[in-house]
Amino acid sequence: MQINLTGKTALVTGSTEGIGYAIARQLASAGADLVINGRSEDKTEKAAKRLESEGAKGTVKAAAADVSTSQGCSELVASVPYVDILINNAGIFQPIDFFDASDEVWDRHWQVNVMSAVRLSRAYLPGMQKLNWGRVIFLASESGFNIPVEMIHYGVSKTADIAVARGLAKRMAGTGVTVNSVLPGPTLSEGVQAMLAEEKERTGLPIEEVAAAFVMKHRSTSIIQRAASVEEIANLVTYLASPLASATTGASVRVDGGVIDTL
């Protein structure tokens, strides 16, 4: 199977590091022109340079913008008016008990994890529809099905991502535009490494072992019994973003190591 994205422009939100950067790297190595996005100009420029040096075949553009605000999304759309592939990846997760999670915590997760994707889908889908080809992928989570007790606010935002993606797929019915959500399980991104830093310091164990212990404690239904790598998530996203995945739309596709225990 050959995946060729030459001539397609892809925007990956929150792609200066973590799963987003891994997705950008895979799409770029398949030939796509890439738009890298993060909040800081400096970090976004650096990630774009890194991508160029790591084998991007097409062009690479840095477009810094805070996608959690409507102003940030408008600025991003003004600097990149059209994309063929939109990867709604930017997301935050913060374990906070329900009784300590303020309105501000709920609102922040909603704005970053859901409204960024709503605004950008609204801006880019009409252009895709005109050309009768496009791909929109939401990075949701297994936590959208299995609401995590330690971060209910996060789980709810990811359930919303799955619902919005399903609704948009139906809205694009009969066109060559597909919309899907991808459901990773625990994945060793920079964000998760930061979340586990204290435990790594306390135990002195390698990060992979700390992550595996976290998986077995908090996601005990995991079949792979370890965290996934960012590349394992990017592999699935790259396939779904390609012309080969033309009959997959409105789906919530798992790359969760078997955490979701339903058929």
Residues at the contact surface with ligand NAD, assessed by CB under 6 A: 13-14, 16-20, 37-39, 66-68, 89-93, 112, 139, 141, 184, 186-187, 189-192
**DSSP-H helix ranges across the chain:** 18-29, 41-53, 70-79, 103-110, 116-131, 152-171, 190-195, 197-203, 207-218, 230-240
Instruction: Give the tokens for residue 34.
Output: 């890439």
| In the complex, least distance from residue 188 CB atom to ligand NAD, rounded to whole angstroms | 7
- Residue number, 67 or 128, with CB nearest to ligand NAD: 67
C-alpha closest to that of 248 among 186, 130, 165: 165
User: Cα 35 to chain center, whole Å?
Assistant: 14
From the candidates 21, 82, 124, 154, which is the catalytic residue? Answer: 154
Instruction: Give the tokens for residue 89.
Output: 């990846």
C-alpha closest to that of 67 among 136, 120, 135: 120
| In the complex, least distance from residue 263 CB atom to ligand NAD, rounded to whole angstroms | 21
- Closest residue to ligand NAD, Cβ-based? 91
Tell me if residue 21 is catalytic.
no
| In the complex, least distance from residue 190 CB atom to ligand NAD, rounded to whole angstroms | 4
| In the complex, least distance from residue 23 CB atom to ligand NAD, rounded to whole angstroms | 9
Note whether 227 and 186 are within 8 A (CB). yes
Partners of residue 134 on adjacent β-strands? 177
Positions marked catalytic: 154
